Chain A
Amino acid sequence: MIKVKLFATFRNGREKEIHFEYYEGITGREIIEKLGIKEEEVAIFIVNGRDKKWDEPIEDEATVSLFPPVGGG
């Protein structure tokens, strides 16, 4: 099982925490595709506190956090 935590506007129309069945080789890119989120909408993508590339496989029991960009001042 992979836990995905969504923040800010990513929660619009979605739960704030979503669980995905783990399978070998599952990547961040596949997860956001399932969520209907585009890569360019994501500012922070971390897996268990570590920055990951979109096509790197994610391990079972991982926590994935997705944040949209906040850039105003």
Chain B
Amino acid sequence: MGKYDRNMNTLSKEENESLKNFKICVVGCGGIGGYVIEMLGRLGIGYITVIDGDVFEETNLNRQILSNSQTIGKSKAQTARERMKLVNPDIYVNAVFSHLNGENGMELIKGHHLVIDALDDVETRFILQDICEKLGLPLIHGAIAGWYGQVTTIFPGDKTLDFLYKKRTTKGIERKLGNPSFAPALIGSIQVSEALKVLIRRGEVLRKKILYIDTFAQEYEIVEFF
């Protein structure tokens, strides 16, 4: 066990061992995605597909854990794979250096047990929700803007994004507020805790509920949808 000792007894030994048999797809390897991949890898999720068609640029340095002076200009997805080889060589990271879209989405997502939304645009999130719906997969949504962030766990049939983005093409307030360092780490952490609970089938998840976080007012509001 060794490296997973400190997961005990948050997880049972059997639960921790079972994590190596799961396949998770993380869509987006930027702010949220970088932290999510780190945490999934350290938990010991056996197979992680990481999807991102971007390379790192200077404006990513304020918040994206995988970006640094050495990785500027490099593929975000491939950088994630390289890092995970060092962090946890027992897991496999499948790096996909392209953006998810309506054409490649089904092929890229099928075969996983769970999907994490670490995207930064609303339009692709709806494509992802549709794909997960068709494939019958749970989708853990997270998004950030300035001091704010939100998380929800979407099961097939829920279509929760339809409630969260009333106007599908809406630009988020992050266009005005940017994204500081703490927001992706915070939201990514909560998404990983949700993913873990879905996999081990224990604990309360944010299904048909949205956790809306305001770190400026330090308020944490759970809004339920009926």
Contact = CB atoms under 8 A, between A and B. Distances in A.
Q: Do A and B come from one complex?
A: yes
A9 B167 contact: no
Interface of A: 7-9, 11, 16, 39-40, 42-46, 49-51, 65, 67-73
Interface string B211-226: 0101001000101111
Interface stretch (B9-17, B29-37, B84-92, B94-102): B29-37
Given A7-B221, A46-B223, A71 B148 contact: no
Given A7-B221, A8-B214, A73 B143 contact: yes
A73 B173 contact: no
Given A51-B225, A72-B31, A46 B143 contact: no
A50 B225 contact: yes
Tell me whether chain A's interface is mostly helix, strand or loop, or mixed: mixed
A68 B183 CA distance: 16
Contact of B170 (A11, A40, A50): A40
A9 B177 contact: yes
Interface of B: 28, 30-33, 117-122, 125, 142-150, 162-167, 170-174, 176-177, 179, 183-184, 210, 212, 214, 217, 221, 223-226
Contacts, number: 104
B224 A49 contact: yes
Nearest to A10: B173
A71 B223 contact: no
B122 A71 contact: yes
Contacts of A46: 163, 223, 225
A44 B160 CA distance: 11
A70 B223 CA distance: 15
11 contacts: A7-B148, A39-B167, A43-B165, A44-B210, A49-B225, A51-B162, A70-B173, A71-B171, A71-B173, A72-B143, A72-B145
Contact of A71 (B31, B118, B147, B165): B165
Contact of B163 (A16, A44, A68): A44
Contacts of B184: 73
Output the residue of A8, A11, A44, A45 with the most chain B CB within 10 A. A8
Given A67-B212, A73-B117, 20 more contacts: A7-B214, A7-B221, A8-B147, A9-B173, A9-B176, A39-B167, A43-B164, A43-B165, A43-B172, A44-B166, A49-B224, A49-B226, A69-B145, A70-B148, A70-B174, A71-B165, A72-B183, A73-B28, A73-B120, A73-B142
A69 B171 contact: yes
Contact of B172 (A42, A51, A65, A69): A69
Nearest to A65: B223
